[in-house]
């Protein structure tokens, strides 16, 4: 979700109406925003995020570590999750600095009371290293390519052991 969407009037009312129309539980909805939304740091953006959060919707920062957000302002935003950018995860095992950045983001998320998810996991080695860092959530082609809903449901029911 980019800056343009957050400048729309009554965004939280629109989301609330969509939740009502679809009978979707707000806790089942997670909105991913870019760091650039946070970089603006204006009061309207903060107010909009707080209104969306008040609906029960989860907020996640996508591709964390590649944008322009200021760490000193991160705590001002009602964020639930940091998504560690795939550019760091994909180089785990290749470049030591990327493992250290990933570990730092995981620690930051924990200290701020947020969860973290590693994006772009493609190998068993990357998954093993992330587990060593106590990363609880991950996504990537190692687990599965994007699937239609029925195939995703079948995958979940099969309870794969990664």
- Count Cβ atoms below 10 Å from residue 106 Cβ, excluding itself: 20
**Quick one: pLDDT at residue 42?**
73
pLDDT of residue 48: 87
What is the Cα 144 distance to its own chain's centre? 18
Q: What pTM was estimated for this model as a whole?
A: 0.84
Q: What angle do CA 112, 114, 115 make, to 5 degrees?
A: 145
Domain boundaries, the chain: 1-79, 89-162
Name the one residue in this structure whose structure tokens are 């973290």: 116
Q: Read off the tokens for 155.
A: 């995958």
Beta strand ranges found along the chain (DSSP E): 30-33, 58-64, 81-84, 115-118, 137-138
Q: Locate 23 and state its tokens.
A: 């009978």
Q: What is the rounded (10 degree) CA torsion for 107, 108, 112, 113?
A: -40
Give the residue carrying structure tokens 């009371």.
Answer: 113
pLDDT tens, N- to C-terminus, the chain (162 residues): 555 666 677 889 999 999 999 999 999 999 998 888 777 667 888 888 999 999 999 999 998 988 766 777 788 889 999 999 999 999 887 877 888 999 999 999 999 999 999 999 999 999 999 999 999 999 999 999 999 999 999 999 998 888
Query: Cβ atoms within 10 A of the Cβ of 128, count?
Result: 11
Task: Determine the pLDDT at residue 84.
Answer: 95
Instruction: State both tokens at 51.
Output: 């209104």
Sheet holding 137-138, edge to edge: 30-33, 58-64, 81-84, 115-118, 137-138
């Amino acid at each position: 979700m980019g800056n343009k969407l957050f400048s729309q009037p009554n965004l939280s009312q629109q989301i609330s109406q969509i939740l009502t129309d679809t009978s979707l539980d707000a806790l089942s909805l997670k909105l991913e925003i870019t760091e650039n939304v946070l970089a603006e740091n204006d009061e309207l953006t903060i107010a909009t995020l707080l209104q969306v959060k008040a609906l029960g919707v989860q907020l996640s920062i996508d591709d964390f570590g590649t944008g322009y957000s200021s760490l000193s302002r991160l705590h001002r935003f009602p964020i639930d999750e940091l998504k560690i950018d795939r550019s760091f995860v994909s180089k785990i095992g290749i470049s030591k600095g990327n493992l250290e950045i990933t570990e730092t983001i995981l620690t930051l998320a924990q200290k701020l009371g947020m969860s973290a998810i590693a994006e772009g996991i493609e190998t068993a080695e990357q998954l093993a290293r992330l587990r060593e860092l106590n990363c609880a959530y991950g996504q990537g082609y190692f687990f599965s390519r994007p699937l239609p809903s029925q195939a995703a449901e079948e995958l979940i029911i099969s309870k794969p052991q990664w």
